[in-house]
Amino acid sequence: MNLLGVSPESLEQHGAVSQETVEQMARGVRTLFGVDVGMGISGIAGPGGATPGKPVGLTWIGISTAEGEKAWQFTWQGDRLAVKEQTAEKALQLLLDYLEGR
């Protein structure tokens, strides 16, 4: 919260694994490091941590640029390592897509 400027209200209302939170995280990365593109990622890699509305594998990836923020939701299958690998690969693909203007 303190480092990236994620609001306590956002965490309380939407939780750490949410569109609102990853967008705020990504915006915080841009601000903190003075960069053109920031990313925020949050998810439930498992094996525990799931709730009825947020299963293991649920992941949000957010990107922040001068044009605004955008976030994507994914639900991956597999064990903890597989969820983390799929998330990392997708985050890099989304960044590449943005940089290439897609």
What parts of the chain have a pLDDT lower than 70? none
Q: Where are the beta strands (DSSP E) in the chain?
A: 38-43, 58-65, 68-75
What is the architecture of the domain spanning 8-99? Alpha-Beta Complex (3.90)
pLDDT in tens, 35-55: 999 999 999 999 999 998 999
Task: Give the model's pLDDT for residue 102.
Answer: 74
Task: Give the model's pLDDT for residue 29.
Answer: 98
**b/e map 8-37, b = 16+ CB within 10 Å:** eebeeeebbbbbbbbbbbbbbbbeeeeeee
> pTM for this one?
0.94
Cα–chain-centroid distance for residue 73?
8
